[in-house]
C-alpha cells in the first residue's frame, strides 16, 4: 500500500538497491500476510496473525480491513496504488475492476492477454510487467517493485519458492506491504483443509481491497446473465460430451500430462458448460497430484470424445490445427482416437482466469463443444459492457 509517511524509508531503501534489468518470474502459492508497519506472528496452526499499527500521519478512521483467507484479517491504511499478482487469475481480477495491469506477476508468460483484444480501451501489452521469477524470487526484486499489496499467499512462497521461509515472507510484508491471496486455481499437497475461493469470491476480495464494490457487483451481474444465457441454449446434460484435458509434452507429442476436472477456478468454464471428465472412468490421476504422463495406448483405452490441450502459448484455431491436429492424424496410434478422426481437438487455453478471461474462455469453449448451437462469429458476452464497467460506467 502507498503510505506518505514511508516516503523517506522507501527512497533510502531504493538508493541501497542496485538491481539489474533482468527480472523474471514463476510461482504456485496461497495465503496472505500483513505489512507496511505491521507486526506478524505465527500461531500453532502455521497461519500468520497480524497486528497493524497506524502510521503517525494516517488517521485511524481512514484505515480499513479485508478478510482474505487463509491469511485472515488484512488491514490497509489507504487504498493501494500499485499491486503485484501471483498469476493471471488475480491479475485479471484487478483489470476487470478497472485497474491497470499489475506491476508484476510470478511469470509474465503465463499471463495470456488474448481475451483483452476485443475489449475497447484495454491493451494486451505486458511491456511494463515484471516477472518475479529468475531462478527463484529474490527479496531485492520485491523491494525494488515496492508494491502497495501482493496478492500472493505466503504459504505459496514458503512451499513452492526455493529458499523462502515464513520469516522471509513476514519480513517482506513488514518492509513493503501485505501478502494476501488464495491459490484457488489448483490443488497442492499442503492444501489440506484449504479455504478455496470461487472466482467471484476472490474477485470480491480484490474489489474490497481497492474499494470498487460497485464495479464488482456489475461484473457479477454481467457474468450471471452471460452464463445463464449460454446454459439456456445447451442440450440436456446427458447429451453433453466428456472431455479429455491434456498438456502435450511437445508439438509432436508421444506423452501427455492428463488433467482431471476438479472444483478449482481453473475449470470453472467447463463446469458451467456441464461437460464431464473423460478420465473419470479410468484410474488416470491428474498431473497436479502425481506429475505422471500417459501415452497414446492409454489414451486410446479411454478414447475421449473431445480432446483439449493446455499449451505454453496462445494458439489461434487455424494455427493449432496446423500444428497439432495434422501430426495426430499422421500418427499410427493417435489417428485411431475418435477425437482425432472427428477433428474434435482444440486448444484449452491457460489454467488461470479472472472475470474477463473467464467470459472469453467460456464463450470460446461453448463454440468449440457446441458448434451446432453457437455460431463462431457470435458474441456471447458484451465487450462494450466490460469496458463500461472497467471505466466505472455502471
Question: DSSP of 145-172, one letter per residue?
Answer: H--S-EE--HHHHHHHSTT--HHHHHHH
- Overall average pLDDT of the 247-256 stretch: 91
**pLDDT for res 23:** 25
The alpha carbons of the chain give a radius of gyration, in whole angstroms, of 22
pLDDT at 54 over 50: no
- Overall average pLDDT of the 203-223 stretch: 98
CA distance 370 to 243: 13
Identify the residue with better confidence: 280 or 50: 280
Identify the residue with better confidence: 117 or 189: 117
**pLDDT for res 289:** 64
- Overall average pLDDT of the 10-14 stretch: 28
Q: Phi then psi for 76, rounded to 5 degrees?
A: -120, 135
- Overall average pLDDT of the 197-217 stretch: 98
CB 27 within 8 A of CB 161: yes
Percent of the chain with pLDDT over 90: 74
Is 305 found in the same domain as 163? no
Residue 104's alpha-carbon distances to 68, 86, 122, 255, 317, in angstroms, are 20, 8, 18, 33, 29
Confidence of residue 287 (pLDDT cuts 50, 70, 90): confident
Q: Using CA of residue 223, residue 226, residue 229, residue 234, what is the dihedral sign? A: negative
Q: Phi then psi for 245, rounded to 5 degrees?
A: -90, 125
Q: DSSP class of residue 323?
A: I
Among 190, 211, 232, identify where a domain stops.
211
Confidence of residue 110 (pLDDT cuts 50, 70, 90): very high
The tens digit of pLDDT for each residue in 141-163 reads 999 999 999 999 999 999 999 99
Is 190 found in the same domain as 229? no
Inter-helix orientation angle 88-96/199-209, to 10°: 60
Locate 236 and state its grid cell.
Answer: 440436456
- How many domains, the chain? 2
The 3-state DSSP class for residue 251 equals coil
The tens digit of pLDDT for each residue in 347-381 reads 998 889 999 999 999 999 999 999 999 999 999 99
Domain for residue 218, yes or no?
Answer: no
CA distance 270 to 361: 9
CB 57 within 8 A of CB 211: no
- How many Cα neighbours within 13 Å face the side chain of 116? 21
Locate 392 and state its grid cell.
Answer: 466505472
* Domain containing residue 313: 223-390
DSSP for 53-108 reads: PPPTTS-GGG-EEEEETTTEEEEESS--SS-EESSHHHHHHHHHTTPPPPSEES-G
Lowest mean pLDDT among 7-21, 166-180, 266-280, 282-296: 7-21
What are the residues whose beta carbons fall under 8 Å from the beta carbon of 196, sequence distance 6 or more?
182, 184, 263, 264
Is 90 found in the same domain as 65? yes
CB 47 within 8 A of CB 70: yes
- Overall average pLDDT of the 90-119 stretch: 97
Identify the residue with better confidence: 34 or 361: 361
CB 96 within 8 A of CB 386: yes
DSSP for 340-394 reads: HHTT-EEE---S---HHHHHHHHHHHHHHHTTTTS-TT--SS-HHHHHHHHTT--
Is 155 found in the same domain as 240? no
**CATH number of the domain enclosing 137:** 3.40.50.1980
- Overall average pLDDT of the 169-194 stretch: 92
pLDDT at 44 over 50: no
Is 200 found in the same domain as 268? no
Among 182, 211, 240, identify where a domain stops.
211
- Overall average pLDDT of the 158-174 stretch: 96
Instruction: Find residue 48's DSSP bridge partners.
Output: 42
**pLDDT for res 290:** 65
Is 169 found in the same domain as 248? no
pLDDT at 48 over 60: no
**pLDDT for res 316:** 84
Q: How much is the pTM? A: 0.83
Percent of the chain with pLDDT over 70: 84
Max intra-chain CA distance, the chain: 72
Report how far apart the first and last C-alpha atoms of the chain are (Å, whole number): 26
Q: DSSP class of residue 235?
A: P
The tens digit of pLDDT for each residue in 314-346 reads 888 889 999 999 999 999 999 999 999 999 999
Is 72 found in the same domain as 113? yes
Query: How much is the mean pLDDT over the chain?
Result: 85
pLDDT at 28 over 50: no
Is 305 found in the same domain as 204? no
Identify the residue with better confidence: 122 or 190: 122
Among 150, 185, 211, identify where a domain stops.
211
- Overall average pLDDT of the 94-112 stretch: 97
Is 300 found in the same domain as 197? no
CA distance 65 to 261: 34
Q: Using CA of residue 385, residue 386, residue 388, residue 392, what is the dihedral sign? A: positive
What are the residues whose beta carbons fall under 8 Å from the beta carbon of 8, sequence distance 6 or more?
none
Locate 15 and state its grid cell.
Answer: 538508493
Is 230 found in the same domain as 196? no
Q: Are strands 48-52 and 130-131 parallel, antiparallel or unpaired?
A: unpaired
Is 321 found in the same domain as 230? yes
Instruction: Find residue 180's DSSP bridge partners.
Output: 32
**pLDDT for res 336:** 98
Identify the residue with better confidence: 113 or 311: 113
Confidence of residue 61 (pLDDT cuts 50, 70, 90): low
Is 102 found in the same domain as 59? yes
CA distance 10 to 145: 11
- Overall average pLDDT of the 123-131 stretch: 97
pLDDT at 47 over 50: no
Domain for residue 296, yes or no?
Answer: yes
Amino acid at each position: 500500500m502507498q503510505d506518505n509517511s514511508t516516503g523517506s524509508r522507501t527512497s533510502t531503501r531504493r538508493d541501497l538497491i542496485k538491481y539489474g534489468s533482468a527480472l523474471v518470474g514463476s510461482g504456485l502459492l496461497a495465503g496472505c500476510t500483513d505489512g507496511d508497519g505491521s507486526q506478524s506472528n505465527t500461531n500453532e496452526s502455521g497461519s500468520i496473525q497480524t497486528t497493524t499499527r497506524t502510521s503517525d500521519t494516517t488517521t485511524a478512521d481512514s484505515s480499513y480491513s479485508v478478510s482474505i483467507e487463509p491469511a485472515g484479517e488484512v488491514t490497509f491504511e489507504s487504498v493501494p496504488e500499485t499491486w503485484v499478482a501471483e498469476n493471471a487469475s488475480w491479475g485479471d481480477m484487478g483489470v476487470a475492476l478497472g485497474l491497470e495491469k499489475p506491476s508484476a506477476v510470478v511469470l509474465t508468460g503465463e499471463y495470456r492477454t488474448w481475451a483483452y483484444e476485443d475489449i475497447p480501451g484495454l491493451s494486451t501489452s505486458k511491456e511494463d510487467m515484471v516477472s518475479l521469477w529468475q531462478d527463484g524470487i529474490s527479496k531485492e526484486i520485491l523491494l525494488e517493485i515496492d508494491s502497495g499489496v501482493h496478492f500472493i499467499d505466503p504459504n505459496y512462497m514458503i512451499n513452492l519458492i526455493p529458499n523462502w521461509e515464513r520469516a522471509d515472507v513476514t519480513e517482506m510484508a513488514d518492509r513493503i506491504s501485505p501478502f494476501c491471496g488464495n491459490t484457488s486455481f489448483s490443488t497442492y499437497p499442503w492444501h489440506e483443509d484449504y479455504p478455496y475461493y470461487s472466482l467471484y469470491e476472490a474477485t470480491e476480495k480484490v474489489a474490497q481491497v481497492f474499494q470498487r464494490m460497485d464495479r464488482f457487483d456489475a461484473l457479477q451481474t454481467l457474468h450471471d446473465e452471460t452464463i445463464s444465457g449460454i446454459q439456456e441454449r445447451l442440450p440436456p446434460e446427458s447429451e453433453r460430451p466428456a472431455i479429455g484435458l491434456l498438456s502435450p509434452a511437445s508439438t509432436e507429442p508421444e506423452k501427455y500430462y492428463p488433467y482431471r476436472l476438479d472444483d478449482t477456478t481453473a475449470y470453472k468454464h467447463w463446469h458451467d458448460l456441464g461437460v464431464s471428465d473423460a478420465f473419470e472412468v479410468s484410474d488416470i490421476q491428474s498431473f497436479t497430484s502425481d506429475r505422471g504422463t500417459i501415452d497414446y495406448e492409454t489414451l486410446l483405452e479411454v478414447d475421449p470424445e473431445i480432446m483439449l490441450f493446455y499449451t505454453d502459448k496462445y494458439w489461434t484455431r487455424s494455427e493449432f490445427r496446423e500444428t497439432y491436429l495434422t501430426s495426430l492424424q499422421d500418427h499410427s496410434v493417435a489417428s485411431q482416437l475418435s477425437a482425432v478422426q472427428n477433428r474434435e481437438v482444440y486448444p484449452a487455453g491457460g489454467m488461470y482466469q479472472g472475470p474477463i478471461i473467464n467470459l472469453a474462455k467460456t464463450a470460446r469453449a461453448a463454440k468449440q463443444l457446441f458448434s451446432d448451437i453457437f455460431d463462431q462469429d457470435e458474441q456471447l458476452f458484451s465487450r462494450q459492457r466490460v469496458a463500461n464497467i472497467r471505466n466505472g460506467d455502471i
